[in-house]
A and B are shown apart, each in its own frame.
Chain A
Amino acid sequence: MKRFWPVINTSIAAIAGFLTLLGYFIRNLKALKDFIVHGAVILAAFAILVGIANLFMVHLTKIRTRQEGNIYSFLLLTAMIVSLGFGLAFSMDPSGSNPDFMQGLFKSVIFPVETSLLALLAVTLLYASVRLLRTRTDWMSIVFLASAVIGLFTMVPLPFIGEIRILNGLRSFLMDYFVTAGARGILIGISLGVLTTGLRVLLGADRPFGGK
């Protein structure tokens, strides 16, 4: 029986995928497709719970085995339990959700931290671009940097000076001709890759769902 599980799993993936695809073209199967997709959305929420549980267990093990950095894991688990506990407690309020706690958590912890992390990028990206030609000196690096400089320089008007028409035209030229072409090629390439990967999953050549 163990030997047949991979075949069964692959068959399930293929059947579900082909039914969904047929729902695009066959009107009678649209309802079935909608039902399948609707169920998949709800099951995806449970998959998120599995991921969170795995995160919990990893850090719990780290604390239990007294690994290096277990104090940070303790802080993580504490924050998780507090946010989950208060969030669920308030969500069970029959009078309606009390978003104060969740909004306060979001405004005071999640939002500033994420924004600050992105703000750090402004410094690190600048530092990396300054040292780019030191580490990699070739024509493509120069072209890349030149394009970046032109994009940065032409993105906004010059302070106290205003816009410069030539610079604006250069930016438009680059954007309309080169960037559009390059981006289109990348998008088509991505689409072809998605198409190939999806067909491989449906045909059983790839098994991203795990198992042996």
Chain B
Amino acid sequence: MAEIRCPMCSKPNPEGQDTCQFCQARLTPLESSSPAGYQPGDEPTPKSTSELEPILPEWLRQARQEGKDSAEEFEELQAEEKPSKPKQTDRLARLKLEGTRKDNQEDIPDWLSDLRPEISRDEQIEETFEDAASANISEDESQFPTETPVIDGKLPGWLSSLADQGEEDQGNTIKTEGSLDWLNQAEDTPPQDSDQDFLSAYSEEAFTEETDSDEIPVATELPDWLGGQKEELELEETGPEGSTFQFTEDQPVASEGESSVPDWIQGSGETQDTPAAPFSTGAQNLEDFGSIDELPDWISSPETNLEGESPVPGVEGDSPAVSAELPDWLAAMKEEPAGEMPSTSAAPFQEMDTDAAGSPGEELPDWLSFTQDENENTPAPPATKTLQEMEPPPGPPGEEIPDWMSDLPVEPEPESGTTPLPGSEQSEPVPPAFAEAEPPSSEGGSLDDIFSVDVPDWLTGIDTDKQASPENKQEAGGQPAAEDLSPVNLPSWVQAMRPVESAIPDAKAEQAATADQFLEKEGPLAGLSGVLPAAPTGFSPSGKPKVHSIKIQADEGQRSHAALLDKILETETRPEPISSDSIRYTQRVLRWVIAGVMIFVLTIGLFSNGKSTPLPAIIDRSKEDTFFEIIDSLPNQGSVLLVTDYEAAYAGELEAIAEQVLEAAMFLKNIRITLISTYPTGPALGEKLIEKAEIIDLRDETVDLDYTSGNQYVNLGYIPGGLSGIHSFTSTTNMTEAFPVTSDGLTARETIPLQAVHGISDFTAIIVLTSSSDSAQLWIEQITPVRSTTPLLIIGSAQSEPVLLPYVNSGQVSGMINGLQGSSQRYRSKFWDAYCFGLLTATLLIVIGSIWNLIQAVQDRRKYIGVEE
């Protein structure tokens, strides 16, 4: 099954697919209707210009038609005008010329520029055509006819067009009238230069946009060198092989119907008065041109090496005989390397319209063959023997080059059949623009639409119905293609202009010969040399990545080390058994035992009712003594601030201490109590304390002091904010305003305890009940700066005693009692025995247990050390 290579990834795809199955790129162009694909690097397929006629843009077709219609006007104008430069007969050629001129004024065909290297292009053109128009080129002086040969009273079409063109062109007009002085002048210049100038001037004239496109210039007369030769000129059907005659942008398109062969081609050396108008749109038959015998010797000489040489006179010419007879510029052109021959001058002579030869089916020269469809076979006029010796260019059979062209040195066909990139500096001759192997089409009617009536017959074979290739459309200035354009039917000259190495005729050979050169064969850079090679063969961006082995390559030594490391780690990571439940059970049992012992001891102590243990009497109790002294020194009905900053958990201990103190103070001094707390449960604890304290159990009776809120005591409630609340309370100077309402809803200033109290210093004593040293510390810090002489007493739990001792030593706290032992100096609590029994039991348990565990720990350590050893 045939395969199609993807232009992007170069992978084979089955025929018939539109998109690549690997990279999803299109395999075939969207507008392609031709089964043959166009790939970079392919040989240019010679096309007949007439076949490409249908693909011409609309404006071009109109120009051709208008050219025909106005051919007569052009002739008249041309007769009146001064020798002017030949008109352009082909609008497409004019545009090409203009484009080339814009790109690079210096970029004239090499074969032409070599003729006159020291003269600028414009100057060359002007000189050439001006001289040609005004001077007669004698046979001796120049082999170029000085006058445009007049045929039937008219200039050859292709010459007359150039003559008309000269009127509009300002800078690059070519004088077409009269003499071909330009040809005479060419003697003074290197043949190549002059020839190139001549040709480039024509080509510029042909393609300038300033020319009247509607008028297809018609040469009134052909130059001598073009006249009288047409009968004998025959174009080969296929024309020069390859790009021996490739029509570049600089080259004018040969006019249709040009029938007179210049003398230099004829070889007669006759001069003519007609202006040099090598290119004319007038329909000229090939018969107008002289026979082969009349061709210049340099053209008709069999020694002329037309193989691979440009048909342009002077482009190629290795034969000494040819060189002797050929003008210098032509001989020099022969010496140019093959492959890049503009062969502009040969353009009108190659593949001339078969009408010029009188036979239908004649094909256009290569430079005109772009308008032909490749499917059309247009017979070309028989070529001269020199041209016959040329390798016929590929193309539809039947195309022949005229005889007068056969002697022209033919540029060897480039291997790739492409022309160099436009604008590139070329030391070698530029290949002709139209690598048209097919002779002009025999269907001259279509070609008439483009060219004027004076177009040589050999140009009339252009088929206007033929499609033009997209490349042609692009070269024509990006005009949209016709509806029936076939993108793939590129004219050979366009194909030759592909960006491949074939621009240099031997480039491919050189590259092949050069081992270091790398010719890219696939991808977007196909055909280019000297590029960095793409990914290695077989690389596919869309392919799956290579699978690499992830196994570590290790030798025996490394493996053994790794195994050793695994062993070491295995012992470290080996899970150890979790401690058995027996240990946990033992611990739980120990806890149960301790709890049971303690509960038992405490229960016994509770049942003893606190009479088994004597009260402490010998211990130094300075701070407690001070405390009680202060309580004893309280004035009657004095206001005492009672701060209940302890939690409910400590209520048992603290209430046991405070209850007895308050009982004595309340009973004996009838003190007024103000309750406040920074704990949310503080007010409730204070209330509870008051309830307990007001009931005094005396020996014989129980006294209820009946402390009521608002009278004997007031509860200011809860102060939030911790330290901020304490500071707010201690720093206030109006207590009733800061605390307008009591906890039970009474108005503070209406209560008895707060009537004489405005600030904290107005209290007779401040008693702070606290369970933690932190709370006591905050109160001490905030009260110290403002209390003045008011004593600060602390009733704290046993745990707060060590931390609060410094405050007692510093004098910040007047007196302090902590725990049940603190109050036991005066008061016996019902918990005293239980408390004492519990403390003693705990002490014993701690001592015994610590000794036991210490011994166990030492033994374990010795065992661990023994194991390590």
Contacts and interface: CB of A to CB of B under 8 A. Distances in A.
A149 B839 CA distance: 10
A184 B777 CA distance: 12
A96 B710 CA distance: 13
B821 A155 contact: yes
Query: Which 8 residue pairs spanning A and B have beta carbons closest together?
Result: A130-B849, A44-B721, A134-B853, A118-B649, A114-B649, A114-B648, A44-B720, A184-B806
Interface in B827-869: 833, 835-840, 842-843, 845-847, 849-850, 853-854, 856-858, 861
A71 interface: no
A41 B744 contact: no
B846 A99 contact: no
A99 to B, nearest CB: 7
A206 interface: no
Interface stretch (A4-12, A75-83, A175-183): A175-183
A171 B802 CA distance: 12
Nearest to A164: B618
Interface string A153-182: 101111110110100100110010001101
A22 B672 CA distance: 36
Interface string B596-625: 001000000000000011111111100000
A133 B849 CA distance: 9
Given A183-B805, A186-B803, A126 B845 contact: yes
A126 B598 contact: yes
Most chain A Cβ neighbours within 10 Å, of B590, B616, B806: B806
B802 A129 contact: no
13 contacts: A44-B722, A110-B681, A115-B651, A123-B595, A124-B591, A126-B594, A131-B849, A152-B839, A157-B615, A159-B613, A172-B620, A175-B802, A180-B805
A103 interface: yes
A143 interface: no
Interface in A114-145: 114-115, 117-118, 122-124, 126-127, 129-134, 137, 145
A129 B803 CA distance: 21
Contacts of A111: 648, 651
A37 interface: yes
A96 B742 CA distance: 11
B620 A149 contact: no
B13 interface: no
Interface string A20-47: 0000000000000110011011101101
Contacts of A110: 648, 681
Nearest to A162: B614
A168 B720 contact: no
B727 interface: yes
Interface in A37-72: 37-38, 40-42, 44-45, 47-48
Contacts of A99: 687, 744
A192 interface: no
A78 B854 CA distance: 49
A149 B744 CA distance: 46
Contacts of A33: 731
A130 B845 contact: yes
Contacts of A129: 846, 849-850
Contacts of B595: 123
A175 B322 CA distance: 136
A41 B720 contact: yes
B803 A183 contact: yes
B681 A156 contact: no
Given A102-B684, A168-B619, A179-B802, A127 B724 contact: no
B650 A137 contact: no
B532 interface: no
Contact of A123 (B591, B745, B820): B591
B155 to A, nearest CB: 87
Interface of B: 590-591, 594-595, 598, 612-620, 647-652, 681, 684, 687-688, 719-722, 724-725, 727-728, 731-732, 738, 743-745, 777, 798, 802-803, 805-806, 809, 819-821, 824, 833, 835-840, 842-843, 845-847, 849-850, 853-854, 856-858, 861
Contact of A37 (B728, B809, B836, B838): B728
Contacts of A123: 591, 594-595, 598
A71 B650 CA distance: 30
Given A114-B649, A157-B616, A38 B728 contact: yes
Contacts of B722: 44
Nearest to B777: A187
B761 to A, nearest CB: 15
Contacts of A37: 724, 727-728, 731
Contacts, number: 176
B449 to A, nearest CB: 76
Interface residues of A, number: 61
Contacts of B858: 137
B807 to A, nearest CB: 8
B857 A34 contact: no
A117 B820 CA distance: 20
A97 interface: yes
Contact of A126 (B719, B821, B837, B842): B842
Contacts of B647: 114
Most chain B Cβ neighbours within 10 Å, of A111, A126, A179, A184: A126
B840 A159 contact: yes
Nearest to B838: A122
Nearest to B590: A127
B869 to A, nearest CB: 20
B805 A179 contact: yes
Contacts of A122: 598, 838, 842
Nearest to A145: B850
A172 B619 contact: yes
A168 B618 CA distance: 8
Nearest to B729: A41
A74 interface: no
B651 A44 contact: no
A84 to B, nearest CB: 13
B468 to A, nearest CB: 67
Nearest to A23: B731
Nearest to B719: A41
Contacts of A102: 684
B725 A159 contact: no
B162 to A, nearest CB: 79
Given A126-B598, A156-B839, A172-B620, A137 B850 contact: no
B806 A180 contact: yes
Given A118-B650, A137-B861, 11 more contacts: A33-B731, A41-B724, A44-B725, A45-B720, A133-B850, A133-B854, A152-B843, A152-B846, A163-B617, A172-B620, A179-B802
Contacts of B849: 129-131
B738 A148 contact: no
A99 B715 CA distance: 13
Contacts of A156: 613, 616, 820-821, 824, 835-836, 839-840
Contacts of B854: 133-134, 137
A103 B687 contact: yes
B618 A130 contact: no
Given A117-B649, A183-B803, A159 B850 contact: no
Contacts of B777: 187
A48 B720 contact: yes
A179 B840 CA distance: 22
A187 B803 CA distance: 8
A13 to B, nearest CB: 14
A157 B828 CA distance: 13
B670 to A, nearest CB: 24
A106 interface: yes
Most chain A Cβ neighbours within 10 Å, of B617, B681, B728, B845: B728
A200 interface: no
Given A34-B732, A40-B724, A106-B684, A115 B857 contact: no
A117 B598 CA distance: 16
A103 B612 contact: no
Nearest to A121: B649
A132 B850 contact: yes
Contacts of B802: 175, 179, 182-183
